[in-house]
Amino acid sequence: MAGRRNPQRRSTGRGRFHPFLSAGEPLVDWWIVPILFLCLTTAVAAPLRADNAAMERLFELAVRPTLVNKCVRCHGERKQEGNLRVDSLEFLLRGGDSGPAIDLEHPEQSLLLQALRYEGPEMPPDRPLDTRTVEQIGRWLKGGAVWPKASAVLHGDGKTKSASDWWAMQPLSTAPPPDVAGDSWSRTPIDRFVYAKMQEHGITPAPPADRWTLVRRAYFDLLGVPPTPAEIAAVVHDPAEDAWEHLIDKLLDDPRYGEHWGRYWLDLVRYAESDGWKADAYRPHIWRYRDYVITSFNEDKPFARFVLEQLAGDELAAQDPAALTATGFLRLGIYEYNQRDARNHWNDIMNETTDVVGDVFFGLSMACARCHDHKFDPILQEDYYRLRAFFEPMLWRDDQVAATHDQMEEYERRLQPWLEATREIRQQIDDLVQPYHDRKWRDTVDKFPVDIQACFHMPRADRTSWQQQMAYLVERQFEEEGGGPLKSMSKEDKAKYEQLQQELAKFNHLKPSPLPPLMTVSDFEGILTPTTIPDDPARRPIAPGFLSVLEGTAIGETLLAEATAPAGQLREGTTGRRTMLARWITSPHNPLTGRVIVNRLWQHHFGRGLVDSPNDFGAQGSPPTHPELLDWLVRDFVKHGGRFKRLHKMLLMSATWQQSAVHPQADQMARIDPQEQWLWRWRVRRLRAEQIRDAMLVASGRLQPQLGGPSVDHSAARRSIYVKQFRNRNDTFLHGFDMANGLHSVAVRDATTTPLQALLLFNGDFPLEQAHAMAERILQEVGPDDWERAVEQAFLLTWGRLPPVEELMAAQHFVHDGLRAPADEDKIRQRLADFCHVLLNTNQFLYVD
Amino acid sequence: MDLHHGNQQLAGKNPWNRRQWLRSSAMGLGSVALPWLLQRELRGELHHPPRATSVIWLFMEGGPSHIDLLDPKPLLNRLAGQPLPKSFKEPITAMGEKGAPLLASPRKWRRCGQSGLWASDWIPHISEHMDDLCVLRSCWTDGINHSGGVCQMNTCINVAGRPSLGSWVHYGLGTENENLPGFVVMCDSATQPTNGPRNWGSAFIPATHQGVLLRADQAEPIAHLKTPDGVSISRVHAKAELLQQFNRHYAQRYPQQSELEARVRSYELAFRMQAEAPEAVDLSRESEYTHRLYGLDNAATRPFGTTCLLARRLVERGVRFVQLYSGSGSKWDSHSKIESNHARMCRSMDQPVAALLTDLKARGLLDSTLVIWGGEFGRTPMSEKGDGRDHNPTGFSMWMAGGGVRGGQTIGATDELGLYAVEDKMHVKDIHASILWLLGLDNMKLTFDHKGRIERPTINEGRFHPKLITG
């Protein structure tokens, strides 16, 4: 490793840096600094000539695009081939190994121009620019190489560099709900925004849907499961004026709400319960994070708190088991149990975490900027690493429990008798396993590259954060790789070991039940390794920070001030970086993140967001169809504490949501608005994978209502959110219907239609089993012999209503035509089961209208 | 089979017109699931004339040793027993054995055919076809472990989350036969390959394009293909008829939402698949000669031979992309006792692969079928545990045949010990770009818009290697 600059070789013992705006220690060796200083002081000040509007236009027309698109990749901030940078006038004048790139005294002889003309050095190397551009650059040089002050150093292509062009960062509109003359349709402010847009485009809304339809729609929308026939009847026949409002309140209080809406969040954070990779090891404790999400939704936790707990629950001063559980968010990513290339492994882990945070909270695809400035959005490569820097000090913890301080003390106290009673046996066990442990440690550590081994061998107190992260990756393989430390135990010792374990088990009655284990994180408490950009030869440290496009803007400064204000409740010893990030994201003044989360809610209620690209609020995404409505909703959301349930209720109370899927002039409307962006009817939607499975279990009457707890096998009759999710298995019933794969943040699921789904529904075991159970259940409920009622009940359990008479006749015919009870009872039973199976395959069951 | 009768009737009631259906479903099924068909039938053509129209990828899972099969290294035997010379940079290896001595290759090598390409005595049957093979000797990849390696060879990167190449090809080209899955995967045992189904998953492009696992040894080669036991044809028929009646009513109520119509069609397609797939995998229709050619009469060669023969039958029927796993579950992995491991694995693979080439050629299918052979990485010249070799991602061999590839040549080279690719290096991205190119697809023009980012199969890198066709 000699001669290589490496964080672990830096001397230790220097003071810690300010937790917020420092990137840790710079990586620059002491001798580089004076040289850099020399370079800067010897730079020649540019003899700028008078400003000239025409010249500035030439700059924008030819010079900036050429330099940015063709040159800076090799002659810019990160790479300086031939020691040349071209991204500022100063750099061009200073030049590189071949001398100054431009010569203001003799513009025609400028090296830049010679290179572009392919006279001498040939640039760009792949092929010459068109002659017109070269001619324009020549004119610009002769005109004095006018360089706009605002562009001292070029970033990106200059078009998106400004925050003022980015709609999602603009202040929220204060426009009130519009008053449209003759609007007798609107019931809520939301409708008034929607109605105004309809008017503008010559569109009329669909009539309201009937009560049967609305009840079924509301159950699927809020709870993810269908109503029972009794529940439908109760609402449909409720004469009270506020029957509808009453239903919504009831559903929002139902704990099944969290089981449905929590699942949307789990898609976003790429929740899964296994590692992926070769072993695809199950993560037995991560379900507590899933329960945390469900509970948070059910408690209507304010969004700011929800975000803070997931990003920085460990940084809170008060020991809060729920907040600690929430940091499971930071443990959902990748981990490969036998990876020896620890350096790249951790790098992948950090990058993936950064990507997901960008997707989930900013609604921005940051991943592009990992390797280069974003081509379309005002996100610089540096911004990616600024974001990553918030997570750089993070250590993974597997030793924390979901318990309060008091609970832990109580546990310790109750453990004492067991510890005393078993002291001797445990000592014997320790002595027995010691040599095997020693050997396994040697084997484990030896397999890593030498520099990683060094991290492991150094005293913990001397390690930097990166060295500690490396040591962690080594340590985990001691237990988890190669069958664990006891795999090589001799037969004799194994027998002894098992006997000792049996003796130990005799004292189990003294042992308190263990505290619930968690997957969590906390920051390293020693010297922090700075974040750097991978191909930056200077290895310039990157401090945690926000999008550079916001620097100097009013909104940027406000958010920065809020995020960096002293955080009172910070736990001792943590950097507070992630708390700062959470506060920036959830600031009531942050228009971007507010729009992102409110749009997600709208999207799940209506099947499509007001912004149709919920994970891309950048230039490539769609602008909002109803910008004032979105902003009005964000304001309301923020003003009322960032609670989801209020927003759900407002949407379900609206005339917009309650429209029928059938519009009497549908053809005419579709000609004006084929994409249906003006929301002139309800759009029929297929159920999500979990809804299909859960609805079948509801229809068969088998669904177990139990909330939460460890995940179960898919054969268990629990809601799908509790089914174990392995990253390497996408061949279950749920995956057949486009379930999220847990590999990346999913904001919009596909809803594919394939022959394989048809086979799965028509021949697969699960739907058939539910059909049979459903038939049995119906026969029990309606009593024997009443076949006609049995058929009707089957419709109610699946479609939520009776069908048109023609379909009812066809069904009755199918079940008992030509048969006569009781002689043919078995046949009729069989046909009823077949009929239930048909219903579970129908669109009336699989879609919500 | 049992449904054939019922299908005919269903189909008879609903005349099947593909083009009409495509138009009608442009906003439903088509808009997400079938852009390729729309592209080809309604808008335009391929990016350039294709050399190949289908692919059979023979995946040697676990990592075969290039220096014992296709890339002879005389220096290795001269230096055997010594540590890696200082002039070679020591790589990070998966099992991390430090300073292990070089392991000799006791193989007998021979120059084969007109071209004189080298092949070892472990692949006597394949070596009869060297004039058809283009051996890529300078392949390299990033991950050092099986999971990352297999993932990368399928998806271009070693971290999970991108679509497999087969999915991209299916997305780009569709299939020639809607009654069979267009992207089929088969394994030579019941053990699933490392990473499982995500190797043929479609990640962020719609699941319509993911591979379908075909289990030739099962009564039900495709999951849920068979009508459940004890259900009569007449019952199935009656159920299907009632179902389609309900579904058609529903679709009529919402005529603008063509995905509802597409769902009616999806059942018709499913019933057709039930009729056609069993025939496609019925090997009793093959001659005695063919059975022997593929080694189906021999326990050692039967498992992989069966998949090879099925691959030919599928390609014949218009299946676009077939991937076969030899040694499914990392069985080519040989950290110790490489002699016995590779002797066994080569025996199981060599004759079937040679038979596939012979058979494709005899039927005139080799010109349009690109056959690819290789593992997720190669193996080190250094020994492991005395008589094995560790993973080598930095230099290894693959080969291609048919599909317009010029045979009887090598591309690139590894260093004198076979550790690093040094000449004409081909990264996995270049290999994928080359496969796409041969199929008429440009790796930079085949795109999918995902979260505001234009995604391409080789992540904006990777180049077709022109020597593949020019020699």
Chain segment A427-453, per-residue pLDDT in tens: 999 999 999 999 999 999 999 999 999
CA separation, residue A640 to residues A597, A637, B93, B270, B456 (Å): 15, 5, 56, 51, 43
Tokens of A11: 């001397």
Q: Does B385 touch chain A (CB under 8 A)?
A: no
Please list, in sequence order, all residues whose beta carbon lies within 8 angstroms of the beta carbon of residue A294, skipping any fewer than 6 positions away: A255, A258, A259, A262, A707, A708, A721
**A508, part of any domain:** yes
Query: What chain A residue is nearest to B266 in terms of C-alpha separation?
Result: A755
CA distance A214 to chain B (A): 17
B216 and B117 share one domain? yes
ipTM over 0.95: no
Cβ-based contacts of B95 with chain A (< 8 Å):
340, 447
* A475 pLDDT more than 90: yes
Half-sphere exposure of A257 (CA within 13 A, CB side): 20
**B198·A728 Cβ contact <8 A:** yes
Mean pLDDT of A526-541: 91
The span from the CA of A393 to the CA of A527, in Å, is: 9
Q: Which residue would you say has higher pLDDT here, A782 or A1?
A: A782
Q: What is the DSSP string of A791-845?
A: HHHHHHHHHSSPPPHHHHHHHHHHHHTT--TTTTHHHHHHHHHHHHHHHHHSHHH
Domain C-terminal end among A225, A247, A269: A247
pLDDT of residue B434: 98
With 0-12 CB in 10 A as exposed, 13-18 as middle and 19+ as buried, what is B86?
exposed
What CATH number did the domain enclosing B172 receive? Answer: 3.40.720.10
Q: Which residues of A touch B212 (CB under 8 A)?
A: 756
Residues 96-115 of B with CB under 8 A from A: 96-98
Count of structural domains, chain A: 4
Question: Best interface-test mutation with B: which of A725, A759, A837, A848 has the largest number of B CBs within 10 A?
Answer: A759
Cβ-based contacts of A743 with chain B (< 8 Å): 160-161, 198, 203
Residue A39 has pLDDT above 60, yes or no: no
Which residues 305-334 of B are in CB contact (within 8 Å) with A? 330
Position of tokens 């058609």? B248
Are both B401 and B457 inside the same structural domain? Answer: yes
Residue of B nearest to A758 (CA): B267
Asked whether the beta carbons of A151 and A64 are under 8 A apart, the reply is yes
Could you say which of A278, A448, A839 has the minimum Cβ distance to residue B96?
A: A448
Q: How far is B247 from chain A (nearest CA, A)?
A: 6
Pairing of strands A847-848, B388-392: unpaired
Instruction: Report yes or no: A364 and A620 within 8 Å, Cβ to Cβ.
Output: no
Give CA separation, A682 vs A86, A825, B262, in Å: 55, 43, 20
As a whole number of angstroms, the distance between CA B270 and CA A755 comes to: 5
Q: Flag whether residue B145 sits within 8 Å of chain A, measured between CB atoms.
A: yes
In a domain, A301, yes or no: no
Residue A104 resides in a domain:
yes
Based on the fold, state whether residues B162 and B311 are members of the same structural domain: yes
> Which of A474, A752, A837 should one mutate to test binding to chain B, selecting the residue with the greatest count of B CBs within 10 A?
A752
Which of A340-354, A361-375, A477-491 is most confident?
A: A340-354
**A99, β-bridge pairs:** A96
Q: Which of A408-422, A725-739, B71-85, B342-356 has the lowest mean pLDDT?
A: A725-739
Are B110 and B121 in a shared domain? yes
Question: Do residue B67 and residue B201 come from a single domain?
Answer: yes
Residue A465: domain span: 405-515
Q: Does residue A138 fall inside a structural domain?
A: yes
Chain A residues with beta carbon closer than 8 angstroms to that of B196? 280, 728-731
Examine the fold and report which residue of B254, B280, B306 is the final residue of a domain before the chain moves on: B280
Looking at residue A151, what is its pLDDT?
63
> Is B465 among the domain residues?
yes
Q: Do A276 and B147 touch (CB under 8 A)?
A: yes
Residue B258, pLDDT > 80, answer no
Cβ contact B223–A760 (<8 Å): yes
Shortest distance, CA A340 to any CA of chain B (angstroms): 6
Is the N-terminal amide bond of B393 cis, ω within 30° of 0?
no
Are residue B114 and residue B166 in the same domain, yes or no? yes
Over its C-alpha atoms, chain B yields an Rg (Å, rounded) of 23
Give the mean model confidence (pLDDT) for residues A303-327. 94
CB-CB: which of B228, B239, B255 is closest to A838?
B239
**B301 and B174 co-located in one domain:** yes
Residues of A in contact with B260 (CB under 8 A): 684, 843, 847
> What does pLDDT average to over chain B?
88
Q: Collect all residues of chain B within an 8 Å Cβ-Cβ radius of residue A842.
A: 243, 246-247, 250
The pLDDT of A600-606, averaged and rounded, is 98
Residue A142 lies in a domain: yes
Question: Is residue B421 in some structural domain?
Answer: yes
Residue at A300: amino acid letter: D
Whether residue A638 contacts residue A623, with contact meaning beta carbons closer than 8 Å, is answered with: no
The answer on pLDDT for A52 being more than 90 is no
B227 interface with A at CB cutoff 8 Å: yes
**Contact between residue A426 and residue A504 where contact means Cβ atoms under 8 Å apart:** yes
Q: How far is A115 from chain B (nearest CA, A)?
A: 27
Note whether B266 contacts A277, CB cutoff 8 Å.
no
Mean pLDDT comparison of A730-744, A752-766, B22-36, highest-scoring range: A752-766
pLDDT above 80 (res A731): no
What the block records as the tokens of A227 is 């109503």
A374-378, A538-542, B165-169: range with lowest mean pLDDT: A374-378
Strands B321-326 and B183-187: what pairing?
A: parallel
Contact predicate A187/A657, CB 8 Å: no
Amino acid in the structure at residue A748: V
Contact A621 B247 (CB under 8 A): no
B427 - beta bridge partners?
Answer: B140
Measured between beta carbons, which residues in chain A are less than 8 angstroms from residue B272? 755
Tokens (6 digits) for B148: 């990352």
Q: What is the pLDDT of residues A69-94, one digit of tens each?
A: 788 878 887 778 888 888 888 888 88
pLDDT at A246 over 50: yes
Q: What is the dihedral of CA B271, B273, B274, B276, to 10 degrees?
A: 130
Burial class (CB in 10 A: 0-12, 13-18, 19+), A723: buried
Residues A140 and A228 in one domain: no
For residue A47, pLDDT over 50 is answered with no
Q: How many residues are present in chain A? A: 849
The answer to the question of residue B101 being in a domain is: yes
| Same domain membership, residue B259 and residue B149 | no
Bigger pLDDT: A782 vs B258: A782
Q: B89 CB near a chain A CB, below 8 Å?
A: no
- Tell me, yes or no, whether B148 lies in a domain: yes
A793 closest CA partner among A692, A785, A801, A827: A801
Compute the average pLDDT of residues A759-765.
95
Residue of B nearest to A743 (CA): B161
Q: Would A141 be classed as within a structural domain?
A: yes
Let me know if residue B272 belongs to a domain. Answer: yes
Check if the beta carbon of residue A276 is closer than 8 Å to that of residue A334.
yes
- Please answer whether residues A773 and A700 qualify as being in contact, where contact means their C-beta atoms are separated by less than 8 angstroms: yes
Residue of B21, B242, B463 to mutate for A, most A C-beta atoms under 10 A: B242
Residue B355: count other Cβ atoms within 10 Å of its Cβ: 23
Q: From the list B148, B263, B452, which residue is nearest A365 (CB)?
A: B452
Pick from A9-23, A477-491, B39-53, B174-188: least confident: A9-23
Q: Are A510 and A418 in contact (CB under 8 A)?
A: yes
User: Does any domain span residue B226?
Assistant: no
Q: Helix, strand or coil for residue A220?
A: helix
| Preferred mutation among B152, B222, B229, B246 to probe A, highest tally of A CBs within 10 A | B246
Q: Is the predicted pLDDT of residue A767 greater than 80, yes or no?
A: yes
Contacts of A365 in chain B (CB under 8 A): 451-453
Pull the structure tokens for residue A27.
């990586």
B198 and B246 share a domain?
A: no
Whether residues A434 and A498 fall in one domain: yes
Q: For strand B109-112 and strand B117-120, is the pairing parallel, antiparallel, or unpaired?
A: antiparallel
When pLDDT is averaged across residues B261-270 and rounded to a whole number, the result is: 90
pLDDT at A53: 67
CB spacing of B259 vs A336 below 8 angstroms: no
Range name among A386-395, A652-661, A747-756 with the lowest pLDDT average: A747-756
Q: Residue B316 has which token pair? A: 């014949």
User: Of the spans A8-12, A28-32, A560-564, which averages the highest pLDDT?
Assistant: A560-564
A-chain CB neighbours of B181 within 8 Å are 756
Q: Are A43 and A92 in contact (CB under 8 A)?
A: no
Residue A311 belongs to a domain: no
Tell me which chain A residue has its CA closest to the CA of residue B229: A763
Taking residues A521-529, report their average pLDDT.
96
Compare CB distances from B452 to A620, A728, A731 and report the shortest one's residue.
A620
Residues A151 and A232 in one domain: no
Q: Percent of chain B beyond pLDDT 70?
A: 90
Which of the listed residues A126, A161, A196 is the one where a domain comes to its end?
A: A161
Distance CA B241, CA B249 (A): 12
Task: State the virtual CA torsion across A619, A621, A625, A629 in degrees, nearest 10.
Answer: -80
Rounded Cα gap, residues A359 and A329, in angstroms: 13
Q: Do A348 and B213 touch (CB under 8 A)?
A: no
- Å from A758 to nearest chain B CA? 5
**B269 shares its domain with B354:** no
Tell me how many domains chain B contains: 2
pLDDT of residue B41: 38
Mean pLDDT of chain A: 88
A596: chain B residues, CB-CB within 8 Å: none
Alpha-carbon separation of residue A590 from A168, A582, A638, B75 (angstroms): 10, 11, 10, 65
CA distance A325 to A305: 13
Computed from CA positions of residues B43, B49, B55, B58, in that sequence, does the dihedral angle turn out positive or negative? negative
Q: Do A219 and A125 fall within a single domain?
A: no
Asked whether residue B18 carries a pLDDT value surpassing 70, the answer given is no
Reported as a single tens digit per residue, the pLDDT across A209-239 is 999 999 999 999 999 999 999 999 999 999 9
Range of the domain at B401: 48-221+288-470
Q: Is B424 part of any domain? A: yes
pLDDT level of residue B142 (50, 70, 90 thresholds): very high
Residues B216, B132 within the same domain: yes
For the residues A88-108, what does the mean pLDDT come to? 86
B31 and B174 part of one domain = no
B148 touches chain A (CB under 8 A): yes
Domain for residue A794, yes or no?
A: yes
Q: Does the distance separating the beta carbons of A758 and B267 come in below 8 Å?
A: yes
Q: Which of A728, A756, A838 has its CB closest to that of B195?
A: A728
- Asked if B453 lies within 8 A of A368 by C-beta distance, the reply is yes
Is the model's pLDDT at B32 over the cut of 80?
no
Distance CA A602, CA A600 (A): 5
CB B63 within 8 A of CB B376: yes
Note whether B196 contacts A280, CB cutoff 8 Å.
Answer: yes
